[in-house]
Amino acid sequence: MSRNLVVYNSLTRQKEKFSPIQEGFIGMYVCGPTVYNDVHLGNCRTFMSFDVIYRYLLYLGYKVRYVRNITDVGHLLDDGEDRMSKGARLDNLEPMEVAQKYSNGFHHIMSIFNTLPPSIEPRATGHILEQIEMVKEILDNGYAYEKNGSVYFDTLKFAEKTGEYGKLSGRIIEDLISESRDNLKNQDEKNHPSDFAIWMKASDEHIMKWNSPWSVGFPGWHLECSAMSTKYLGKNFDIHGGGNDLKFPHHENEIAQNVGSCGCQPANYWIHTNMLLMNGKKMSKSDGNTISPEELFTGKSVHVSKGYSPMVVRFFMLQSHYRSPNDLTDEALLAAEKGFKRLMDANKNLDGLIGASPLETILDTKISEIIEGAYSDMDDDFNTPRALARLFEIVTIINSLKDGQMSLSDISVTGITKIKDAMRTIIFDILGLKDESENNAGPLDGLMNLIIDLRQQARVNKDWGTSDKIRDSLNEIQIQIKDGKEGTSWSFK
């Protein structure tokens, strides 16, 4: 926590020093998926970006409450049908079956991509009471009106009274007013086209509906996030995130609802991720420009020449900053595959390397600077591509030490330990990558490397008693260690 984290705040459109409301704690809300069909890779990009943000905040020592919702009601299609109901109708399932099916699929993909689960994953349908309460508060405060059993948020009144509407998305209320004159005829019940439903009366054929003071109906899509973030993180919390396509209307309306009900801005920092493109165009289902995670893993798609492993895909995502668009192409994935392998190979090669200098060297200092640079990159609005570039500077050093272009006497034992710590912390803990190779023995490998390091430390200190004891004790449990030119290796006898 002693580091200086800077975050780009979409609300103020600038980078700001990050300081949480309560020292040591962070509340973070991220808009989760609408579970009416399979997640696509664009969704995955957004959730992987927030995974890295979450991981870095944890690394910094914060206790983070990470809330990511599941939208299982209220998100309407252009034709007005609820996405969940449509999914249920098409698949001949209960809406809850649809929600469960695609939530399971979503969790499965998230774990394949090695993303950490959120602390709380609330569902919209489990929070109808909280949403009804919020509608009441907004009505009581005069920022909503009821028409024929539906309740609409009064954006013009809200804008006039608070001056808050449009701040996040940059939409100007005057434009909204002139739009209203053009479009008013299509907006039957609403006073103004930018007004939005916070409660909707359900038609007879609508499947998901609840009792309320206004009608048997269902909450508006934007309401769930306002109600659930308030319930679990309080009226004012630290970070709110989502893809930048959610800025308007979803997040703008969330802010309006929160301010309209309790008078406070929900989040201090708004973080928005940029879109995933494919071959230069936005990934979108309607024009076929889409690829599912499975198609990408198996290579069964016209868009790729072969399959790519989940960690290659994650590495590819990390190579661009979360605020830049990222273009998925076969060439870029091939390059990512090479880069990821190089990184993993270097990390493995590191295991056998042992610094020979008893004192700190010039190379040690250089390495410390590179590592500090990588952490500073993460402090600078989670700049993963720059942090990765620093890791590749270290990869070059590791490879030179391994093939003898650099001498092991140029680096101390602590120098090597520093590289090992930094590589492991940044690659695995912060960036969330995993070594997928077959001969990766997981925790055992890590433990053996630790033991080999301790033995090497003893040898540098000429503590032959300890170093022999380690070797003999391992021998007794059938583990053999061999000292070679390229370092120390181990195997079962």
By CB under 6 A, which span of 107-115, 230-238, 271-279, 312-320 interacts with ligand AMP?
271-279
Among 43, 115, 169, 347, binds ligand AMP (CB under 6 A): 43
Our finding on whether 293 is near ligand AMP (CB under 6 A) is no
Q: HSE on the CB side for 82, CA within 13 Å?
A: 26
CA gyration radius, the chain: 27
Q: Is position 34 an interface residue for ligand AMP (rule: CB under 6 A)?
A: yes
31 scored as a contact of ligand AMP (CB under 6 A): yes
Shortest distance, CB of residue 297 to Zn ion, whole angstroms? 28
Q: What is the largest CA-CA distance in the chain?
A: 90
Which helix H or strand E contains 133, and what residues bound it? helix 128-140
Q: Which is nearer to ligand AMP, 273 or 357 (CB)?
A: 273
Q: How far is CA 403 from the centre of its chain?
A: 37
| Residue 245 makes contact with ligand AMP by CB under 6 A | yes
Q: How far apart are CA 347 and CA 419, in angstroms?
A: 9
- For 186-195, which contacts have Cβ atoms below 8 Å and span 24 or more sequence positions? 189/147, 189/148, 189/150, 189/152, 190/147, 190/152, 191/145, 191/152, 191/154, 191/156, 192/154, 192/155, 192/156, 194/155, 194/156, 194/165, 194/249, 195/152, 195/153, 195/154, 195/155, 195/156
Residue 331, Cβ density class (10 Å: 0-12 exposed, 13-18 middle, ≥19 buried): exposed
**Binding flag, residue 42, ligand AMP (CB under 6 A):** yes
Q: Should residue 275 be labelled a site residue for ligand AMP when binding is judged by CB under 6 A?
A: yes
Q: Which stretch binds ligand AMP (CB under 6 A): 43-51, 58-66, 171-179, 227-235?
A: 43-51
Query: H helices then E strands: how many in the chain?
Result: 16, 15
Whole-number minimum distance, CB 69 to Zn ion, in Å? Answer: 6
What is the spatial distance between Cα 85 and Cα 302, in angstroms, rounded to a whole number?
31
* Position 60 contacts ligand AMP (CB under 6 A): no
- Stretches 162-170, 255-263, 275-283, 335-343: which one binds ligand AMP (CB under 6 A)? 275-283
Torsion angles phi and psi, residue 324, rounded to 5: -100, 150
Q: Considering the complex, what minimum distance in angstroms separates the CB of residue 88 from ligand AMP?
A: 17
Instruction: Give the residue at shortest CB distance from ligand AMP.
Output: 243
Instruction: Report in angstroms how near the CB of residue 30 gets to Zn ion at its nearest.
Output: 8
- Give 76 or 458: the residue with its C-beta nearer to ligand AMP: 76
Our CA dihedral for 402, 404, 410, 412, rounded to 10 degrees, sits at: 30
What residues contact residue 483 under an 8 Å CB cut-off, 6+ apart? none
Q: How far is the CB of 186 from ligand AMP (least distance, A)?
A: 24
**Least distance to Zn ion, CB of residue 152, Å:** 19
455 part of the interface to ligand AMP, by CB under 6 A: no
Q: Pick from 11, 48, 67, 276: which binds ligand AMP (CB under 6 A)?
A: 276
CB of 51 to ligand AMP, least distance (A): 13
Q: Whole-number minimum distance, CB 115 to Zn ion, in Å?
A: 18
Q: Which is nearer to ligand AMP, 127 or 402 (CB)?
A: 127
Q: Which residue has the tokens 């030490």?
A: 401
Report what 5 binds from ligand AMP, Zn ion, none; CB cut-off 5-8 Å by kind.
none
Closest to 47 (Cα-Cα) out of 104, 109, 119, 91: 109
- Please report, as ranges, the residues that interact with ligand AMP according to CB under 6 A: 31, 33-34, 42-43, 45-46, 242-243, 245-246, 273, 275-276, 282-283
